[in-house]
């Protein structure tokens, strides 16, 4: 995995919430995504920038 993709400021991660549920997000380093368990969505991180758009999120199947 390209290291620059996974480098997101930890302080920023603490501030970000799911735009749909306003719930906490967890970082999945393997897929380089921020995961919202409540919304069952995974938001991509591109070039170190979290893409916090529901339209860009991947649906997580249970």
Domain holding 20: CATH number?
Answer: 2.20.25.10
How does pLDDT run across 12-50, given as a tens digit for each residue?
A: 888 999 999 999 999 999 999 999 999 999 999 998 899
Residue 56 DSSP one-character state: G
Listed in sequence order, the residues at least 6 apart from 2 whose beta carbon sits closer than 8 Å to its beta carbon are none
Instruction: Using DSSP bridges, classify how beta strands 58-59 and 41-46 pair: parallel, antiparallel or unpaired.
Output: antiparallel
**Residues contacting residue 59 through CB under 8 Å, at least 6 positions apart:** 40, 41
Q: In which domain, by residue range, is 51 found?
A: 3-59
d(CA 60, CA 4): 24
Say if residues 29 and 6 touch (Cβ distance below 8 Å).
yes
Q: How high is the pLDDT of residue 6? A: 56
Q: How many distinct structural domains can be found in the chain?
A: 1
């Amino acid at each position: 995995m390209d290291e620059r993709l996974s480098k997101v400021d930890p302080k920023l991660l603490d501030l970000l919430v799911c735009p749909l549920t306003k719930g906490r997000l967890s970082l999945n380093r393997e897929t380089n995504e921020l995961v919202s368990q409540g919304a069952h969505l995974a938001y991509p991180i591109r070039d170190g920038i979290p893409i916090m758009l529901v339209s860009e999120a991947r649906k997580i199947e249970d």
